A and B are shown apart, each in its own frame.
Chain A
Amino acid sequence: MNDSALWLVLHKMKVPFLAIVISYTISIVGLLLIDGVDSYGNIYHMSIFDAFYFVTYTASTIGFGEYPFEFTYQQRLWVSAMIYVSVVSWFYAIGTLISLLQDKLFISQIKQYRFKKQVGKLKQKFIIVLGYNYITSEIIKIINDSDFRVVVIENDKDKVDNLILENFTPHVPVLRANSYDSQNLELSGVKSMFCKALVTLYKDDELNLRIAVAAKMLNSNIIIAAKSTTKNHTENLKDLDVEIVENPFKIIASQINLALMAPNILKLERWIYQIGKLNDSLPTLPQGRYIICGFGRFGQEIYKVFKANNIKAVFIEIKETKKRANKDIIFGNSDDKHILKDAGIDKSVAIIAGTQDDTTNISILRTAKKLNKDIVTIARENHIEDFSIFKNADIDEIFMPSKILINKTTNALIKPSADKFIKYMRTQDEEWGQSLVKKLVQDIDENPSIYLLHLVEKRAIAILNKLKTTTLKLSIFKTSLSNNNLANNIIVLMIYNSSTKKEIVLPPWDTNIEKDDKILFACDDYSINEIEYIANNVFELHYAMTGQEKRYLSFKF
């Protein structure tokens, strides 16, 4: 039973209970003392039980009538007096109990207790997500699809209700409390051995840092994914050994960089993040002069990218206070036609609307299109709710920090291998990207699935047993199980082993596989099925190796 809730009830019910006991006792004693008359006219005294029975039904206003015989006038006089006292004390107790059940403190205690119990019951790795909004709800959906469970802390009542209405499967326990309170973090199971990670993506950098500090103090083994948009906080988070630090503006800036330098790599990245397909049109940005509206955190990140790539750019900023040692800033409202003309809109090839207001962004791009109809428009979309407006606004490229944040977080948390591959990909050039895209589309299809096989006992028992006696090549996985001379549509993106530090990107088919290897496949859904068969079923593995059916099982003890 919930300790504090029980004590709360007991403490508040003490006086009402005493009132009931005392009023009942007085009533019972009176009934015992007063003479009654039975049906033959003899003097009769009520027994203790009779008196108790009578008081019980009278005080609770059920009123079965006079018992066991009709009362005398003395008895009736006493009963009239006793009814006032006992009924009032009875209602007092009931009233206190009901008001207690509606008490906010009591209810929150009960909810907290339920939450604690649900978290305690989680015997499976889970991730704590702080705050519930569009971004985290998408993250929750993706995490729920994998082997992990989710626990949420949210302070806002409406958002908690929304989460409950969403009806996530498996169930997502939610605590309504302040997430920066270390006690609440503890309640949500930060210290549990099953807690794997904590996600804090609040808008407020200070809050994220504070939560990261608290969580790291409570349990240094968990992975923390935190959002940070300023350099100062990012450094602080890195000092704390926070594993995943995300800056949505930096992400967009690097994507713009990719779009400029290596659009095929960006295409691959979007495919891995599942926000695009391989046959989508290339997100190419033209070479030339750029106008960027907004020189806030977003604008500054883009400034760095453009400076590194030697692209000429003009910035327009509304606030004069953001003065930097940069000659190319024009101060003024970017929505103003004259300002845009001053910025040289007719000489520019592209305009990026990067303010934090979605309406302004759309309006800027509309004005820009009117002034120069050949200009390429690029927008930053802040709120996911505005998606349909942006879609109909006829904008060439839309960068959405929230969507990238979702994919980035989930990839880093539950698909670290894909994240590793993306990191490697970023170091490659356009040619490499182009050939990989071509290969993937040719060998598989325009949207291959990504599948990770970890060579451990739980996932690949047959392979591991075979590896004890012989060596196996990577090509074993591409064998078709319907005809071992044919091959399935598979491309191995990466093979790596954390214990032997082996890491091969796009390995050749004759690479030897070892225990504990992690192999990242790009393939169709049918091939995933066959890979799983080969990894786990001795008969299928035997067929894949030799092309013959295995006829007996050899037991080894």
Chain B
Amino acid sequence: MNIDKVIAGFFIILAMTVNFGFFYGDMGDMELHSKYELFAAIIVNIIATLLKLGDRTQMGSVLLATSLVAVIQLVIAASVWTIFGYETISREVFGIVVSLSGGALLANITSVMLYISETVKSKR
């Protein structure tokens, strides 16, 4: 067991679960999507990305790429939310925010799948 790998795995999976937590629920219903959950998703995703930095293997590069996609999608979602008036946001714009986070969720799922497949292949 390696403490680095525990931390990395923890954040990679947490990034996906928190992202899912924000995404889950009716697309247009603002009450079902907490802004705090989006904030947490962004932070956890950034940390997961940073943890993947500096790994020059093929797997490390692909993992970093998926995380970057997730971070960018989530940051854009948060920016859209802020730009279009925060509290007084319309249903359509909110739809954009949620679907952007949905895209980030896909990237996170890919990331987790890659992570698990690598673990399964590993003999140690």
* Nearest B-chain residue to A7, judged by Cβ: B56
Complex CA–CA separation, A385 to B35 (angstroms) = 76
Q: Does A13 contact B (CB under 8 A)?
A: yes
The proximity string for A residues 12-46 relative to B, scoring 1 for CB distances below 8 Å and 0 otherwise, is 01100110011001001000100000000000000
Segment of B18-26, B39-47, B98-106 in the binding face: B39-47
Determine the chain B residues whose CB is within 8 A of the CB of A17 once the complex forms: 50, 53
Q: Does A48 contact B (CB under 8 A)?
A: yes
A18–B50 CB distance below 8 A: yes
Known contacts A7-B56, A21-B43, A25-B43; is A48 also within 8 Å of B36 by CB? yes
Shortest distance in angstroms between B18's beta carbon and chain A's nearest beta carbon?
13
A11, A21, A28, A32: which contacts B46 (Cβ < 8 A)? A21
Q: Does B10 contact A (CB under 8 A)?
A: no
Complex CA–CA separation, A25 to B46 (angstroms) = 11
Shortest distance in angstroms between B55's beta carbon and chain A's nearest beta carbon?
9
Determine the chain B residues whose CB is within 8 A of the CB of A22 once the complex forms: 47
B53–A13 CB distance below 8 A: yes
Shortest distance in angstroms between A526's beta carbon and chain B's nearest beta carbon?
63
Give the interface residue-count category, chain A: 10 to 19
Complex CA–CA separation, A47 to B88 (angstroms) = 13
Complex CA–CA separation, A547 to B124 (angstroms) = 91
Determine the chain A residues whose CB is within 8 A of the CB of B51 once the complex forms: 14, 18
Q: Does A49 contact B (CB under 8 A)?
A: yes
Known contacts A21-B43, A32-B36; is A49 also within 8 Å of B82 by CB? yes
Shortest distance in angstroms between A25's beta carbon and chain B's nearest beta carbon?
5
A400-438 contacts to B, CB under 8 A, are none
Determine the chain B residues whose CB is within 8 A of the CB of A32 once the complex forms: 36
B39, B47, B82: which contacts A18 (Cβ < 8 A)? B47
Q: Does A506 contact B (CB under 8 A)?
A: no
Shortest distance in angstroms between A547's beta carbon and chain B's nearest beta carbon?
74
Determine the chain A residues whose CB is within 8 A of the CB of B47 once the complex forms: 18, 21-22
Q: Does A10 contact B (CB under 8 A)?
A: yes
B54–A11 CB distance below 8 A: yes
Determine the chain A residues whose CB is within 8 A of the CB of B35 once the complex forms: 48
Determine the chain A residues whose CB is within 8 A of the CB of B50 once the complex forms: 14, 17-18, 21
Determine the chain B residues whose CB is within 8 A of the CB of A48 once the complex forms: 35-36, 39, 78
Determine the chain A residues whose CB is within 8 A of the CB of B82 once the complex forms: 49
Shortest distance in angstroms between B45's beta carbon and chain A's nearest beta carbon?
10
* Nearest B-chain residue to A50, judged by Cβ: B86
Determine the chain A residues whose CB is within 8 A of the CB of B53 once the complex forms: 10-11, 13-14, 17
A28–B54 CB distance below 8 A: no
Complex CA–CA separation, A73 to B47 (angstroms) = 32
B34-89 contacts to A, CB under 8 A, are 35-36, 39, 43, 46-47, 50-51, 53-54, 56, 78, 82, 86
Determine the chain B residues whose CB is within 8 A of the CB of A25 once the complex forms: 43
A28–B86 CB distance below 8 A: no
* Nearest A-chain residue to B43, judged by Cβ: A25
Determine the chain A residues whose CB is within 8 A of the CB of B78 once the complex forms: 48
* Nearest B-chain residue to A12, judged by Cβ: B54
Shortest distance in angstroms between A221's beta carbon and chain B's nearest beta carbon?
34
Determine the chain B residues whose CB is within 8 A of the CB of A11 once the complex forms: 53-54
Complex CA–CA separation, A25 to B35 (angstroms) = 15
Shortest distance in angstroms between B53's beta carbon and chain A's nearest beta carbon?
5
Shortest distance in angstroms between B37's beta carbon and chain A's nearest beta carbon?
11
Complex CA–CA separation, A47 to B43 (angstroms) = 16
B54–A14 CB distance below 8 A: yes
Determine the chain A residues whose CB is within 8 A of the CB of B56 once the complex forms: 7
Shortest distance in angstroms between B3's beta carbon and chain A's nearest beta carbon?
15
The proximity string for A residues 280-298 relative to B, scoring 1 for CB distances below 8 Å and 0 otherwise, is 0000000000000000000
Q: Give me the interface of B with A, judged by CB distance under 8 Å.
A: 35-36, 39, 43, 46-47, 50-51, 53-54, 56, 78, 82, 86
Q: Give me the interface of A with B, judged by CB distance under 8 Å.
A: 7, 10-11, 13-14, 17-18, 21-22, 25, 28, 32, 47-49
Closest 3 interchain pairs by CB? A11-B54, A10-B53, A14-B53
A-B contact pairs, 26 of them (CB 8 A): A7-B54, A7-B56, A10-B53, A10-B54, A11-B53, A11-B54, A13-B53, A14-B50, A14-B51, A14-B53, A14-B54, A17-B50, A18-B47, A18-B50, A21-B43, A21-B46, A21-B47, A21-B50, A25-B43, A28-B39, A48-B35, A48-B36, A48-B39, A48-B78, A49-B82, A49-B86
